[in-house]
Amino acid sequence: MSSRSWEAERRFLFLCLFAFGLADLFLLGFLALGFWQGFDVALAMLRSLSGLGPLALGGCALAVTGLLIGTARYRSAFLQFARRTRELEKEKGRCQALLTSLGDGVVATDEKGRIMLMNQEAEILLGWKAEEAHGKSGLSVVRIDDEKGRSLARGRHPLRPGKTARAKTVFSLLPTFYLRRKDSTRFPMVATCASVVSEGQAAGAVLVFRDMTREKEVDRAKTEFVGLASHQLRTPLTAVRWYADMLLAGIPGAVNDKQREYLDLLYQSNQRMVELVDAFLRVSRIDLGTLAFKREQVDVVRSMRAILQECRPVLRLRGLHLKTRFTPSLPVLQTDQKLLEIVFDNLVSNAVKYTPKSGTVTVVLEGKRAGERAADRAVRRASVFLTVSDTGYGIPFHQQNQVFTKLFRADNVIGKETSGTGLGLYTTKAIVDQAGGEIWFRSEEGKGTAFYVLLPLKAERSPKGT
Ligand code: ADP
């Protein structure tokens, strides 16, 4: 090979390397400057290389063409990327505007339970700024108190980290819960919490909550009104009863049979009205937290026998069988006798009312020690265990979650049994709760129902109310 051609090859190789080196530089340059500027620079380079041999020029042209094609591709990818980024920014802005304008507070946490998002309403309600709350534990920012004012146990907190959520779960808090603001004042709230699941793993939670102060005030005003109205109604009703009593006793003079029959009806209707008014009064006291609860020695068997005695005429009228089993020498309970008898009366009269002819009502009272089982539950403290079961209509499965709510009456009994207020079980549960006990039930439509009550011998709570 002549030294001249060797020199040409070296120059060619050098130029090729130079061109590829430049290609990298151009790549970066073109991305920054844009396609057209990059194209101009490439043309200028071609012109400056036009003095070289045709082979070198061809190689350079090839390299630059490849470079231009590559750059064009990068440019379109870059433009697409920029467009997507703009779209995402817009979308993010829209979502933020949406969150901000929401009337409810929204707090979202990550998988470790740290706050990662808080909307404007949440800032106002909680008294925290989103920036200062960001990264803090959800439990320390969203402090929840239960209905008794105790701070919610960590295990019950909806934003607790490490929830092993395999599926999306939604959790609701009733308006009996309170949220503590940063300054430790609090307000009643209602909330829904959904766990966020990503690829089968718990990725955090979203809590949506609302201040219920106004609704609570309205509710309280209504309850107070019902309480007051019931109280006022009692006086004239009591007077009607006295006078009906006197007429029936023949004090103002003898009454004939027809008059006695009408007076009896008058007396019974008045009595039903008195019971209804008493039920309203009790419910309003429960709702206002002013139900007086005495602590006295109560012989439960004696109380139950008295209730059953009152039920006997109805049992006979309806052709029902009554079975009882009372464990001998049950310990006395420290509770409010009158309220306990309301519990017994509600459960027994329901069993009687909602059992068709020839059915059976069974009442069992037994003692349970801590650690023993009562139906399907473990007993935590020494208690008296009451079971009232029947072979009646049962409660439809889809309505069983409403059983202890105010004014609930199941669809399957409304047509069959018109006398009912839907206040009995609500009151019963409130009394059992106040006695420190537990109440639950099992029911199958068309087969029957069993209500279970566990009443501790010594209640943990102190009496409250007036
Ligand atoms: P009510 O005055 O209607 O009896 P309660 O609060 O005592 O009100 O009961 C609420 C509803 O629960 C009843 O209307 C009935 O639908 C259902 N229920 C209660 N006890 C029984 C029972 N032993 N058998 C069937 N349904 C019952």
CATH number of the domain encompassing residue 451: 3.30.565.10
In this structure, are 334 and 301 located in the same domain?
yes
Pocket probe mutation, ligand 1, options 318, 393, 404, 425, max atoms within 8 Å of Cβ? 425
- DSSP labels, 52-113: S-HHHHHHHHHHHHHHHHHHHHHHHHHHHHHHHHHHHHHHHHHHHHHHHH-SSEEEEE-TTS
Q: Are strands 115-118 and 105-109 parallel, antiparallel or unpaired?
A: antiparallel
Work out the angle at residue 399's Cα, subtended by the Cα atoms of residues 396 and 404, and round it to the nearest 5 degrees.
115
Q: How far is CA 48 from the centre of its chain?
A: 77
Which pairs count as long-range contacts for 310-317, CB under 8 Å and 24+ apart, including other chains? 310/345, 311/348, 311/349, 311/352, 314/349, 314/352, 315/352, 315/361
Q: Residue 462 domain-assigned?
A: no
Last residue of one domain, picked from the residues 271, 288, 305: 288
Q: Residue 388 domain-assigned?
A: yes
CA distance 406 to 399: 13
pLDDT at residue 168, as a whole number: 56
Res. 321 pLDDT band, cuts 50 70 90? very high
Domain range spanning residue 445?
Answer: 296-456
Mean pLDDT for the stretch of residues 203-227: 89
The overall longest dimension of the chain from CA atoms, in Å, is 154
- CB-CB contact of 180 with 210 (8 Å): no
pLDDT digits (tens, 9 = 90+) for 369-411: 999 999 989 999 999 999 999 999 999 999 999 999 999 999 9
Structure tokens at 4: 């001249």
CA distance 117 to 78: 31
CA distance 431 to 423: 12
Question: What residues are in contact with ligand 1 under a 6 Å CB criterion?
Answer: 346, 350-351, 354, 390, 392-395, 403, 408-410, 413, 420-426, 449
In this structure, are 228 and 305 located in the same domain?
no
Mean pLDDT for the stretch of residues 331-340: 92
Q: Whose CA is nearest to atom 20 of ligand 1?
A: 350
pLDDT digits (tens, 9 = 90+) for 83-109: 999 999 998 888 878 887 888 999 999
For residue 198, give the CATH number of its domain: 3.30.450.20
Pocket probe mutation, ligand 1, options 389, 413, 443, 453, max atoms within 8 Å of Cβ? 413
In this structure, are 333 and 274 located in the same domain?
no
pLDDT at residue 1, as a whole number: 47
Q: Residue 384 domain-assigned?
A: yes
Q: What is the pTM of this model?
A: 0.67
CA distance 406 to 410: 12
- 343 CA distance to ligand 1 middle (Å): 13
Number of domains in the chain: 4
CA distance 189 to 77: 50
pLDDT digits (tens, 9 = 90+) for 237-259: 999 999 999 999 999 999 999 99
In this structure, are 246 and 122 located in the same domain?
no
Structure tokens at 180: 């503590």
- 421 CA distance to ligand 1 middle (Å): 9
Neighbours of 209 (CB within 10 A): 25
In this structure, are 422 and 399 located in the same domain?
yes
User: Which ranges in 289-423 belong to alpha helices (H)?
Assistant: 300-318, 337-353, 411-414
Res. 460 pLDDT band, cuts 50 70 90? low
Last residue of one domain, picked from the residues 57, 83, 98: 98
Q: Residue 78 domain-assigned?
A: yes
pLDDT digits (tens, 9 = 90+) for 159-196: 887 665 555 566 666 667 899 999 999 998 888 888 88
CA distance 400 to 449: 11
H helix or E strand, kind and range, residue 386: strand 383-390
Q: How far is CA 346 from the centre of its chain?
A: 28
